[in-house]
Structure 1
Amino acid sequence: MRWALAGRVRRRCPLSRGVGGGGGPALEHGAVLATISSYGNDWARAVEFFRWAEAQGFKHSRETYNGLIDVLGKFFEFDEAWRLVAEMRTPDHATFRVLFNRYAAAHLVGDALAAFDRAADFGLRDRATFHHLVDALCDHRHVLDAEELFLKDNKKPPFPADTKVHNMVLQGWSRLGWWSRCRLFWREMDERGVAKDLHSYSIFMAALSKAGKPWLAVKLYREMKSKGMPLDAVAYNTALLAAGRSGGADQAARVYREMQDRGCRPNAATHNAMIKLLCAEGRLAEALAFLDRMNRLGCPPTALSYHSLFRCLSRPREILRLFDRMVAGGCRPTMETFVLLMRKFGRWGFLRPVFFFWRAMADTGMSPDGFAYNALIDALLLKGMVELARHYDGEMLDKGLSAKPRKEFGPRFGSPPVEDDACSHYLVGKKK
């Protein structure tokens, strides 16, 4: 039966292998790291598992420490995160990249700068850490801060602002969608005498495409070719998307063939872009053909390969068959996969598939995030199951996740427990 598919998801997940302490087999490093990541929405359980693994004799690596620091930073537990940094004794550049990322995501720019200075205690206040700091700020909408701190004439950065730093700022303006500022900064790079590399051109080409001017991105791509610049897969993928937005999937296919002719091997992102463009034009059969081609070329499909197809399909059975194929092919669904499918079936009013994907999420070792809870609650409210939805809303709040305000629930405090016997059998793991 299709509903037994959750068992297949569980068997293909590395977290479901027998790992244990005492007289059992030794804990696998990959399984420990994946488990910490799966508790990304429940920091207390992540810490509990981390210490439990330690008690079983597992020796934590920098990767597992960094994984837990990332989870703690997500919930603003920075004091505990720094205690872990002191405990690991030999943090690396990745440790500070995680810290910068979480401080910037929390809009704590001053704390991120202080963390950069604290890196000196570990001999890591160097150019690589400086690049991580700038990148984290630009990744989280603090491009103006990065530019004011490190690129203004009256400021003296701790290390020279090279092409890499300028590329990060350019990318940051592009992510913000400030297209006029992006074009201005592109000109300022020339005025400052900053040498533009292939990455600079790829970023600006993507910005032009996203700004609604894909024909200018294609023009820049041709300019790059005329200058004899050796293009990599990233540049070709950007040009392919721009060509698709400008002239449709057929024009993108010409860039795809040109990429192959010039000896640059298409990667997963290339095929995902083609699948997305074909799905946007309703050419589902051709999109599925690209999915088969990925396997033939030794480039296995990723979760993103399937997401465009899931969005394109309009028949429940076809979606379930494709999900079956995804798991059978060894592609592990992501949280985005489950949220996408739960929302789709929830809008259609099909609760059984919604709960199937909810359970499959748990079977893969994932802890539901706020988007997953909201997708489930929205589906329940659409069917009028207010009390059951209130139960999951409370569970979501207990985990420290942000819940959407909903008029169906009224006041959030003092809400009664679930008492509706007609829908209590839907509760996952509920003991009667």
Structure 2
Amino acid sequence: MLLSMYLRRFDRLRIVCPPSFRLLSGKPISNVDGENHRCQEDQSSYDQKTVCEALTCYINDWQKALEFFNWVEKDSGFTHTTETFNRMIDILGKYFEFETSWSLIKRMTGNPVSLPNHVTFRIVFKRYAMAHLVQEAIDAYDKLDDFNLRDETSFYNLVDALCEHKHVVEAEELCFGKNVIGNGFSVSNTKIHNLILRGWSKLGWWGKCKEYWEKMDNEGVAKDLFSYSIYMDIMSKSGKPWKAVKLYKEMKSKRIKLDVVAYNTVIRAIGASQGVDFGVRVFKEMRERGCVPNVATYNTVIKLLCEEGRMKEAYEMLNEMPKKGCGPDSITYMCFFGRMEKPREILGLFGRMMRSGVRPRMDTYVMLMRKFERWGFLQPVLHVWKTMKESGDTPDSSAYNALIDALIQKGMLDMAREYEDEMVERGLSPRRRPELVEKSLEETLVCG
């Protein structure tokens, strides 16, 4: 509620604030009658968590996020921390605003409570890798001496970012090729090989994964829990879950103690190869061995139950989660939404989700709108859209396209055109739709 209040106030302030001042200055805001006084009254209510949540609401609109970021500091007296800076840098990186990101990093160094840390540059590496700017990511690593962060952790973060975003070839060259980065520290051979192995899995090159797994044996690289967890996941995703189960048994024979990540992989694999009941059996085994399930564990079991049409048992699992101190997340509810076929039942569960405080991801909203659109129901689409806007979430292009398609389906071309124009104003690219193009040409001819 507190966050919603701030967001509503900020939206009102944006209306009266001249656009030319929005990104650089908060002064016009403070001159609005009455607003400055109210901001001062609520000043103590702003904290790091609230500001981070507000920025998350603007994750699909970097300009609005930056506007809020500057405003909350200049007009409310809030002092940004390393965490709030990191959140803003992540949003900027999503839209390739790297120059602005570096200007914020420079600002961070001016205050002891906002100094850049390993997370800051992990975000930078990730965003460069996602933009396929590999050399820029490496150059960023080379700058870390200036921040006293050029160490083993940062090197792992760089390699992990490259592997995570399909630049495993470059990562392997960086670690083992001719132009290996000269570091003043040693790295774990097993950990680096695990990152590379996971990188090949991200590419879906299953043959290369098998080759690399065998290469680790040939080179005498010790395989640990994470090695097995990664390769079990590879076997599951490559359509060979029974081989993942075999690896699980091999781990047990070697007395390797499984953690929650390994168990989650095993439950998914054994559920796919031998059925949900065997997955539930492993779920019970992990609890008996003192390994506490996390939300991903419950999601895995719930998904298996939903896929088998055992919705009652899935609901029982959903109700059990809070009692075990493991509240459901948006993915939990998406497991249900994916199998439900009754609009009223979906809306009921969606309402329960919102009331429980679980924040939907953007793909949750899109999934529901697309589902209702396929069934030809416009009102539920509009309800989901309204809920999304009231929650302070900024729609992305997928959400806009889902709404526009639903409106076109019902012949509401004028309204669809309005939302398409809104997309363009926000810098998003709508899909080409013959219905809207024809309408536009017809209007042009009439006006002419």
User: So what's the TM-score if we normalise by structure 2?
Assistant: 0.86
Q: Does 1:78 align with 2:98?
A: yes
Shift of 1:365: 1.5
2:305–2:311 CA contact under 8 A, matched in 1: yes
1:257 to 284, 290, 312: 284
1:156 corresponds to which residue? 180
1:137 to 158, 162, 166: 162
1:88 to 89, 98, 108: 108
1:348 corresponds to which residue? 375
Q: Does 1:106 align with 2:94?
A: no
1:146 to 152, 171, 193: 171
Question: Matched residues in 2 for 1:415 and 1:305: separation?
Answer: 47
Segments of 5+ residues of structure 1 without an aligned counterpart are 1-10, 418-432
Shift of 1:65: 0.8
2:20 corresponds to which residue? none
Alignment of 1:54-73 (within 5 A): 54-55=73-74, 56-73=76-93
Paired positions, count: 405
Question: Matched residues in 2 for 1:87 and 1:412: separation?
Answer: 49
1:24 corresponds to which residue? 42
1:132-159: CA deviation from partner (whole Å, max 9, x where unpaired): 111111111111111122223x343334
The one-letter amino acid of 1:21's match is C
The one-letter amino acid of 1:73's match is G
Question: What is the Cα-based RMSD across aligned positions, in Å?
Answer: 2.1
1:100–1:132 CA contact under 8 A, matched in 2: yes
2:30 corresponds to which residue? none
Question: Matched residues in 2 for 1:313 and 1:351: separation?
Answer: 18
Q: SS at the partner of 1:410?
A: helix
Q: Does 1:300 align with 2:327?
A: yes
Q: Quick one: higher RCO (CA 8 Å, sep 6+), 1 or 2?
A: 1
1:52 corresponds to which residue? 71
2:173–2:180 CA contact under 8 A, matched in 1: no
1:163–1:194 CA contact under 8 A, matched in 2: yes
Which shifted more, 179-188 or 203-212? 179-188
Question: Matched residues in 2 for 1:246 and 1:402: separation?
Answer: 42
1:39–1:366 CA contact under 8 A, matched in 2: yes
Q: SS at the partner of 1:367?
A: coil
Question: Matched residues in 2 for 1:37 and 1:235: separation?
Answer: 30
Q: Does 1:246 align with 2:273?
A: yes
Change in CA separation of 1:315 and 1:296 when aligned onto 2, cut-off 3 Å? same
2:58 corresponds to which residue? 39
Alignment of 1:316-327 (within 5 A): 316-327=343-354
Change in CA separation of 1:167 and 1:416 when aligned onto 2, cut-off 3 Å? farther
Q: SS at the partner of 1:260?
A: helix
Question: Matched residues in 2 for 1:96 and 1:416: separation?
Answer: 51
Shift of 1:276: 0.4
Question: Matched residues in 1 for 2:413 and 2:206: separation?
Answer: 44
1:286 to 300, 310, 313: 313
The one-letter amino acid of 1:131's match is Y
The one-letter amino acid of 2:242's match is W
The one-letter amino acid of 2:89's match is I
Question: Matched residues in 1 for 2:434 and 2:149: separation?
Answer: 51
Question: Matched residues in 1 for 2:301 and 2:137: separation?
Answer: 39
1:377 corresponds to which residue? 404
The one-letter amino acid of 2:101's match is A
Question: Matched residues in 2 for 1:315 and 1:192: separation?
Answer: 55
2:31 corresponds to which residue? none
2:43–2:77 CA contact under 8 A, matched in 1: no
Q: SS at the partner of 2:40?
A: coil
Shift of 1:408: 2.9
Question: Matched residues in 1 for 2:162 and 2:143: separation?
Answer: 17
1:275–1:287 CA contact under 8 A, matched in 2: yes
2:264 corresponds to which residue? 237
Question: Matched residues in 1 for 2:41 and 2:298: separation?
Answer: 46
Which shifted more, 154-163 or 58-67? 154-163
Q: SS at the partner of 2:394?
A: coil
1:151–1:157 CA contact under 8 A, matched in 2: no
Question: Matched residues in 2 for 1:237 and 1:270: separation?
Answer: 5
Segments of 5+ residues of structure 2 without an aligned counterpart are 10-37, 110-114
1:15–1:364 CA contact under 8 A, matched in 2: no
Question: Matched residues in 2 for 1:294 and 1:416: separation?
Answer: 55
1:295-314: CA deviation from partner (whole Å, max 9, x where unpaired): 22221111111111011111
2:141 corresponds to which residue? 116
1:6 corresponds to which residue? none
Shift of 1:362: 1.6
Question: Matched residues in 1 for 2:365 and 2:89: separation?
Answer: 26
Question: Matched residues in 2 for 1:308 and 1:245: separation?
Answer: 16
Which shifted more, 235-244 or 73-82? 73-82
Q: Does 1:309 align with 2:328?
A: no
Question: Matched residues in 2 for 1:376 and 1:53: separation?
Answer: 32
Change in CA separation of 1:329 and 1:38 when aligned onto 2, cut-off 3 Å? closer
Question: Matched residues in 1 for 2:438 and 2:367: separation?
Answer: 29
Shift of 1:357: 1.2
1:271 corresponds to which residue? 298
Q: SS at the partner of 1:79?
A: helix
Shift of 1:412: 12
Question: Matched residues in 1 for 2:440 and 2:214: separation?
Answer: 55
